[in-house]
Amino acid sequence: MARVAAVLRGGGQRYHVFCWLDLMSAASDPVPPLPLIIVPKRHVDNRGWFGETFNDKRLRDLGIACTFVQDNQTRSARTGTLRGFHFQKPPAAQAKLISVLHGRILDVAVDMRRNSPTYGKYVSAELSSDDGKQLFIPIGFAHGFLTLEDGVSVLYKVSDYYAPSGEGGIRWDDPDIAFPWPFQGADIILSERDEGLPFLADLESPFPYDGNPLKELPALDLR
């Protein structure tokens, strides 16, 4: 069994909704191909903890039918380092599973599926090595993150190999996305490449819409 949690907003209030998903039942509805928080189980004792951070069968049982073929790791020395927004174009488009090995990040996924009613909208979550939460980002979404402390290491699994000719991205400060980064522009550290990314309005998306509009970011609790 896995607990699914979603945070809904309305009338200035936040409501936490929980339900249980039977991983072994063929009648369980698969998770739609949308961004999703995954909370792995950790076994804690006097030495620390042990956790299973990736289980292909369990993800497939939940409807996340990705074959991850490559692991990437980044280390960011300083608070305020921003990487994104990035994506890789078809035929080498990538789904991603993001984990933080050390430190904290603000992780963001932006809907890039053309004709989606939520095109250019985003979901975000704080991930840390302390809580072990992961963010699954399916194909069709751009990804970016901001480090919230010094010395951050991030690991992300991807579902296709790196293809330089397929690199794509959009500006971190795109006014149509208008993501509320917690730092001012002068305090954000960028690469030259990310500084030169196009705006959303100037980009023709290579991703089709699959009929699933972006929703509030749910959390799949495997504990």
Do residues 186 and 211 lie in contact, with contact meaning Cβ atoms separated by under 8 Å? no
43 noted as active-site residue: no
| Active-site annotation holder among 16, 156, 161, 209 | 156
**56 phi, psi to nearest 5 deg:** -60, -45
Contacts of 88 (CB under 8 A, 6+ apart): 94, 158, 160, 162, 163, 166, 167, 168
| Active-site annotation holder among 86, 119, 122, 143 | 86
How far apart CA 121 and CA 98 sit, in angstroms, is 19
156 noted as active-site residue: yes
**211 phi, psi to nearest 5 deg:** 95, 0
Q: Which residues are catalytic?
A: 86, 156
